[in-house]
Amino acid sequence: MKQQYIRAMDAIQAACLFVAGSCIVMITVVVPYGVFTRYVLNSAASWPEPLAILLMIVLSFLSAVVCYRDHLHIGVSLLPAVLKEPAKSVLGYGLEICMLATNLFMVVWGIKLVETTWYQSIAEFPLATAGMTYLPIPVGGALTALFVIERLLTRQFFHDPARGTVGQITTE
């Protein structure tokens, strides 16, 4: 059962990575188009900048999900590095429970935000609503919560950096 869950999380991570990468590609097409229409054609299109912002929001939330799973997020590893078992595991469980609570907060209140703003229109995109722009909040929270559950199942709370990837800073 645990292996099936991990495989499902692998697929979700790959999908998040694909969507985030697609957002980057679309941003790199849309922004130069907006610059071209504004400065070359002297007729600025109204939609490239807001679309790039919306894509950046999706990119940010989905990239955060991927980075969390791969232990690439910002974390202070001083305390886990000096703790021994079982204190290190207790700390890991505590941190993941806090992460789960934070992500459930994002899901619950994000859904309420989406529901509240669902029918508010966006001038540049008549077919899209303001609620749609807030969808990455509950989606990102739900996906990260799934990855938190995976960490709780696998008990891989802390990730030691690969040898040679951590630089030493001297203060001489």
Instruction: Judge whether 81 lies within some domain.
Output: yes
Digitized pLDDT (tens) for each residue of the chain, 172 residues in all: 889 999 999 999 999 999 999 999 999 999 999 999 999 999 888 888 889 999 999 999 999 999 998 888 777 677 777 888 888 889 889 999 999 999 999 999 999 999 999 999 888 887 888 899 999 999 999 999 999 999 999 888 877 666 665 555 555 5
Look up residue 19 and give its amino acid: V
Residue carrying structure tokens 């939609």: 47
The pLDDT score that the predictor gives to residue 171 is 59
The pLDDT tens digits for 44-72 are 888 888 899 999 999 999 999 999 988 88
Radius of gyration in angstroms for the set of CA atoms belonging to the chain, rounded to a whole number: 20
Whether 25 is covered by a domain: the verdict is yes
In a domain, 170, yes or no: no
Are the beta carbons of 148 and 117 closer than 8 angstroms?
Answer: no
- Considering the domain boundaries, does residue 160 fall inside one? no
**Number of structural domains in the chain:** 1
Residue 166 within a domain: no
164 φψ region: left (φ > 0), alpha (ψ -120 to 50), beta (else): left
Q: What is the rounded distance in angstroms from the CA atom of residue 34 to the CA atom of residue 31?
A: 5
Whether residue 16 lies inside any domain: the answer is: yes
pLDDT one-digit tens code per residue, 87-96: 888 988 999 9
Structural domain harbouring 122: 2-154
Is residue 167 one of the residues assigned to a domain? no
Q: Decide if 146 is inside a domain.
A: yes
Q: What is the pLDDT of residue 38?
A: 92
